[in-house]
Structure 1
Amino acid sequence: MLPPLSLYVHIPWCVRKCPYCDFNSHQVPAADRSSGSGEHVSIRHGTNSEPAASQLPEAEYVDQLERDLRSQLGWIQGRKLGSIFFGGGTPSLFSPLAIERILNLAESLVGFAPDIEITLEANPGTFEQAKFAGYHSAGVNRLSIGVQSFDPLQLQNLGRIHSGAEAHTAATQARAAGFDNINIDLMHGLPGQGEVDALQDLKQAVALGAEHISWYQLTIEPNTAFYSAPPVTPGSEQIAEIQQAGRAYLAGEGYGRYEVSAYARTGLASRHNLNYWSFADYIGIGAGAHGKFILPDSGRIIRTQRTRAPRDYLALGCALGKGGGDFPQAKVTDVAIAERPLEFLMNTLRLEKGVPAMSFPAYTGLPLSTLAGEWAKLEAMQLVEPLGPRISTTEFGYDYVDEILQRFLPSD
């Protein structure tokens, strides 16, 4: 049985690299503002920064995305796309025309399910109402707004270039442009943040009518500015109190928690998120993008990765020319049989209700009994539910997923 299929499109540029960000995002350097020969898009900094005109090789990059997508058509195996997600970086730096062109390519080359979910990530400081409307007209039907906090001090701490007022305006403009499915990204565990402050951020997101709230803890990752000079953040006990209070508040407001850091109104969980965490398949196109495919005819499960640097990604197409030719293959690695139980559980146990047990043999090619020995020990510890009809943790075990996964590490 083939799993559902999604498409991830990576737009790697941003106006400014945030000090906590370890994603494949690249600040647009002045030296690159006139590079390329195609259509370009103007970037304007938010109100907390001096206005500056920059250039992005928008048309060239979309050309590359087309070659990239065409090179992966053999792994699609007749499926239509159930969701598309534009991530970054800041996808909203691209024009609505560029986004529409990408969507038209995806529809013509792969095809769309009738109820496809199409999400675009956006930062509040990069928008105008006309741009929102343009994205909606292009076919985007879900907007994910990277607010992180409404608190001016925390926005400054996080290196954000928008204000709390701009975040409110962005959500209001998005609604006026026709979006009826909006996610707001928020962080907690911020420097000096207490329970009252964290709840205030959630309350403002709820007041704006967000259908979905992603609420995740600030973590200090390697290769970030915060890793070199870490801020003082709340301790583990205070974090636990903030999380408990926030979850209770969101539940009381009608937001069900369905993934570690994702909360949604009934029926509005992100289908793209669910596809990832169900160990289903996804195409990844763009600089640094990852993909994953199950190939039942050969018994393989493969993961793909594109080159990370935007300049290198664009240079691949320059070598081929615009006349066609195969896009250079991504790095392709096989998921070894011994690694499949862990790979499956690393994804699926992030979902609060887990997944149907039948998806394990269908998606890994292994019998459900592969899990049985360790699963029985975990069940005795009340960390997981009995094996079947679903694979899931208990409510208690949901806070100990990392410890559960340790039991499934492949032996050397």
Structure 2
Amino acid sequence: MPLPDGAAGNTLPPLSLYIHVPWCVKKCPYCDFNSHALTGDIPENSYLNAIMDDLAGDLALVQGRPIQTVFIGGGTPSLMSPDFYNTLFERLRAHLLFSDDAEITLEANPGTVEQARFNGFRSAGINRLSIGIQSFNPKRLIALGRIHDDTAAHRAIEAARDAGFDNFNLDLMHGLPGQTPAEAIDDLAAALAWNPPHLSWYQLTLEPNTEFYSRPPKLPDDDHLWEIYRQGADYLHQQGFTDYEVSAWSRPGMASRHNLNYWMFGDYLALGAGAHGKVTFGNGDIRRFWKTRQPEAYLNRIGSRTAGSQLVEPDERPLEFLMNALRLTSGVSENLFTERTGLPLSTVAVKLEELRKENMLEPGRIQTTELGQRYLNSLLERFL
């Protein structure tokens, strides 16, 4: 379905929707997301009403633009009941236009789901799952503070498959405390035994404002981290997976459309406590929005739940675009730079050519070479 045209005949980017559910059973020691351990029952009805009030304030931003993808993240969104999602999507569809093939993803954690719940999610219109496994190794799961063991992880994947989810992602970490390359390969092999179409395989990092940051565990050194990644990447390539993004792997044609929209500097509406959004306007402005972060404040707020917004100024757009686009191993066309930023390619052309001469970027395309991907952070600093 075509999108409405913006200023000067430019087409506005595809539009996605992100919904944040802030509650979880237990805060993991590595987690820096806006997640809060439950101390009682989830206020589902109140949160549903708050989300719809939130949407009412944002409708004018995106009126008439179809939603191409939805991602429900957290926290642990699978703690919410199927009835919650059934009612939520009924109400969302009354106000928003969804494309016929919209990809709708829900994050789910083992230990918070059973067969009936997965069946209910499917009936509510959710057609993709992202299951937070992190590891199949019992010792590593304990070290990560996960509430599930390896048996619960396998049962969750089986329940998802039995509910008819043939499009699903498994989240795995590598570089865990004490992890060897062989253990990392064992985790990948256990995941691939379920024939997932998509894997998120990313390195554990110590983020500020987490328990691990204040009391850091002993992680593998750089040489071990590189060996874990090298062996794991070789294994996944041998199994027919493509690393289309720094930490995202998929079977052919099964890349996450929602994530691709992020990396290609698309737009996304944001609902829920602490959610962040980005919208491009017909006059060429690009604005970021963020919502009230604390769940109680979000629930009880009167009026707009948008806590703040900020224009992405023209001089900020090149770096923001490249920070996203260069995560894609196949990169993007040069034309997309102008389409998504509203700026001429000449804004960055000199630096792009310098990097091509240094074998950091491929010719004629905004795409890193293998060398450029390895030194991506240093490459991006050139655009500061």
TM bucket (normalised to shorter chain) is over 0.9
Query: Which of residues 372, 377, 381 in structure 2 aligns to 1:402?
Result: 377
Counterpart residue type for residue 136 of structure 1? R
- One of 319, 325, 329 as aligned partner of 1:342: 319
Q: TM-score, normalising length from structure 2?
A: 0.96
* Conserved? CA contact 2:242–2:249, under 8 Å: yes
- On the 8 A contact 2:338/2:344 being kept in 1, the answer is yes
Aligned residue identity for 1:21: C
Note the 1:61-210 alignment, pairs <5 A: 61-210=47-196
Q: Which amino acid aligns with 1:164?
A: D
Alignment partners' CA distance in 1, 2:93 and 2:260: 21
The 1:57/1:333 distance shift into structure 2, 3 A limit, reads: same
For each residue in 1:341-392, what CA deviation from the matched residue of structure 2 results, as whole angstroms up to 9, or x when unmatched? 0010011111111112211111111101111111111111100112x3x311
Q: Tell me which of 368, 372, 380 is aligned to 2:345.
A: 368
Q: Does 1:250 align with 2:236?
A: yes
- 2:68 is paired with a residue of what secondary structure? strand
Structure-2 residue corresponding to 1:309: 294
CA deviation after TM superposition for structure 1 residue 330, in Å: 3.6
Distance 1:20-1:328 versus aligned 2 partners, 3 A rule: closer
Looking at structure 1, the residues matched to 348 and 135 of structure 2 have their Cα atoms a distance apart, in angstroms, of 41
The alpha-carbon deviation at position 396 of structure 1 amounts to 2.1
Match of 1:2 among 9, 12, 15: 12
Q: CA deviation at 1:99?
A: 1.1
* CA distance, structure 1, for counterparts of residue 184 and residue 224 of structure 2: 11
Task: Please identify, of 358-367 and 193-202, the stretch whose mean Cα deviation from structure 2 is larger.
Answer: 358-367
Structure 1 residue 105: Cα displacement: 2.3
Alpha-carbon separation, structure 1, partners of 2:82 and 2:247: 29
Q: How does 1:204-283 map to 2 (within 5 A)?
A: 204-283=190-269
SS at match of 1:178: coil
Shift of 1:102: 1.8
Q: What corresponds to 2:282 in structure 1?
A: 296
Paired residue secondary structure (1:72)? helix
TM-score, normalised to structure 1's length?
A: 0.89
Residues 159 and 328 (structure 1), Cα distance of their counterparts in 2 relative to 1, 3 Å cut: closer
Q: Which sits farther off after the overlay, 259-268 or 394-403?
A: 394-403
Letter in 1 for 2:23: W
Q: 1:15 maps to what in 2? A: 25
Match of 1:355 in 2: 332
Q: Cα RMSD (Å) of the superposition?
A: 1.0
Partner-residue secondary structure (3-state), 1:308: coil
Q: Secondary structure at the match of 2:316?
A: helix
Number of equivalenced pairs: 374
- Counterpart contact for 2:298–2:305, Cα < 8 Å: no
Alignment identity in percent? 53
Counterpart residue identity of residue 289, structure 2: T
Structure 1 Cα separation of the partners of residues 186 and 305 of structure 2:
48
Kindly provide the amino acid, as one letter, of the partner of residue 331 in structure 1.
G
Separation in structure 2 between the aligned mates of residue 330 and residue 285 of structure 1, nearest angstrom: 12
Partner of 1:27: 37
Query: What do the CA deviations read for 1:68-119 (whole angstroms, capped 9, x no partner)?
Result: 1121111214211111001000000100111122222222211111111110
Partner of 1:393: 368
Q: Would you say the 8 A contact 2:198–2:251 is kept in 1?
A: yes
Report the residue type matching 1:379 in the other structure: R
Per-residue deviation at 1:328? 4.2
CA distance in 1, matches of 2:225, 2:90: 44
Q: Deviations over 1:262-282 (max 9, x none)?
A: 000111000000011100000
